[in-house]
Structure formats: structure tokens, C-alpha cells
Structure 1
């Protein structure tokens, strides 16, 4: 019997979706049936899956409120099955802030919900100033300046450790 896995994501610029697609690919290679949903489009039921993965990116220090609302409304169902959560943020580009135990956004996230995912990860995202609207670009440049990151408006860097993403998918598969 194939394991049915749901992956729900929230993304601002599309990078979290890219990460989800790599996770989906690894899980499908392991023989699972995987369905991928945007938080905007999910109409299903968590209980329809054997495992459920949630991924969300950070913008201005916060995960999408719809992700938090979804978790709060589905805690009972999530806790009955294997579950996982991952956060995507630029702070995770720093090795000392690249784990669930050390990433300030992940720690803050756990304090806003009454759920502890069984499997958790933090992935560094992508910085692409030219893709951002003007105001976002200025705000992100300010944040990067404050955190000693690149501020050149032509900067385009993908910080994601794809091996770490694949390792997470294997952990989800084996859970």
C-alpha cells in the first residue's frame, strides 16, 4: 500500500514551492503518492493523508497568518498522523541559525501555535532583489544591511542547501 502524503505550502516569491517540489520528487521516488497544495487552494482534509508536511516562508519576520490559522484549526488531525513542518528564511543562510533549535523565526513560530511538528527543518531561502517590488526591495535591503547580508540591488543568491532539503524528505519518508 502506498503512503499518501500531503504537502501544504505558503510562498511569497515561489522559492518555498521550489523546495516543496524537490521534497515531492524525493518522496515519489520512494514510492509514495504525494499531493501538493498551496495554502490558498487547499480544500481537502488532513485526515485523508497518512503523512502531512507544511512549509512556509518568512516575510518581514512572520509566516503567512493563513498557515498559523490552518495549523490551529487542524491540530487534532495533524497529531493523529506523521507530520512535518519546515520554515524558509534568509536568516538560515547563517550556519548558526540554520536549525529549528537556533532559528529565531522557527522558535517564534512555535511560540505562536500549540503544536510541535514531529519532524522539523529550517532552510535558507533565495535573495533576488530585482524580483521584489520597490518597497519590499528597500525593506529587505535594510534588513540585510542590519544582518550583514548583501545589499546590492542586483544581488541574486540562492542560499538553499538542496542536500539538506533531500535529507528532510528522506526523514519524512522514514517517519
Structure 2
């Protein structure tokens, strides 16, 4: 079995939730799994397989994701590795694959690292969990994209069966 490191960049917690779920699934398969915030990553050479997960905030991945990739590109390319992205746009069937998700495509265009295994997951829309500025920005984006705008909306769009399939793909890396 493998030693996995799952690194996450999460703003409102859904990417961390996906990370923890993946860690549990991989551990159930017999793997040793460590999770770490992108702000506190252990030495990568201690692990067999690397996974990086990042959320979208205001249409972009956190700049620290690209800084991490630049700093660790050699190791990311030498070891079996994968990237997943969590966003509200992935709630839409036409935008919930790496090939059709605009944020994944923007990531691939900007990143020097081109992992072979990619995935996208729908996020969680919880207006009450956002500060006033984020709530208004996200409501405006939802209005434009014909999503829910009620200020009391709390909907999880993550497809957990899809996360299960991704865990199996990670195991097979």
C-alpha cells in the first residue's frame, strides 16, 4: 500500500471536507494518508503519492497553489500525483468534468505542472457562512448563472459517489 499526502487549499471548508473524505476512503483501502494545509506542508519526499486539492474563490484558485507548484514541480512530476478543484460552477452537468470546467482549464493553462489525473467537484453554497462581501458577490454570480440566490440557501453540490470513484483512481495511480 502507498503513503499518500493530500494537500488542500480551502476557503470555506468544502475542499477540506473533500480532502478528509478522500483520506478516509484511501485509509479504508489500506493506504497511509496524511492531510496538510497548503500553508503547512511536510517534506514531500516522505510520500509515495501526492494529491493537491484547491477551491475557487472569486473565479480563481488561491495564488499559493501556483507558488506551491512552482516550488515543488520536480517532485510533483516525479511521483504519481493528481489535482482536484472544488467550485460552484461544477454543480452544472456541462461544467463538471476536467475537460469542460473553465476553472480546471484555466489552471492547466497557467500551471507548469500538468498532472495526468484531474477531477472537479461541486462545492457547497452556504450564504449564511459567508461574510457580507462574499455573500453579495456570490449571490450576484448565482443570479447571472441562474443559480439559487435566496440568502438562506445552504446546498451541498458535491457528488460523493464521484469522490468515491476518484479515490479508487488515486489508489490505482
What pairs with 1:1-175 in structure 2 (closer than 5 Å)?
2-42=1-41, 44-175=42-173
TM-score relative to the length of structure 2: 0.98
Q: Following TM superposition, where does structure 1 have runs of at least 4 consecutive aligned residues deviating by more than 4 angstroms?
A: none
Alpha-carbon separation, structure 1, partners of 2:6 and 2:25: 13
Alpha-carbon separation, structure 2, partners of 1:101 and 1:45: 31
Alpha-carbon separation, structure 2, partners of 1:24 and 1:35: 7
Alpha-carbon separation, structure 1, partners of 2:157 and 2:150: 16
Alpha-carbon separation, structure 1, partners of 2:79 and 2:38: 19
TM-score relative to the length of structure 1: 0.97
Partner-residue secondary structure (3-state), 1:19? helix
Q: Deviations over 1:12-33 (max 9, x none)?
A: 0111111011100111011111
Offset at residue 168 of structure 1 (A)? 0.3
Alpha-carbon separation, structure 1, partners of 2:153 and 2:122: 16
Alpha-carbon separation, structure 2, partners of 1:152 and 1:14: 21
How many residue pairs match? The answer is 173
Structure 1 runs not aligned, ≥5 long? none
Offset at residue 45 of structure 1 (A)? 2.0
Structure 2 runs not aligned, ≥5 long? none
Partner-residue secondary structure (3-state), 1:136? helix
CA RMSD of aligned residues (A): 0.7
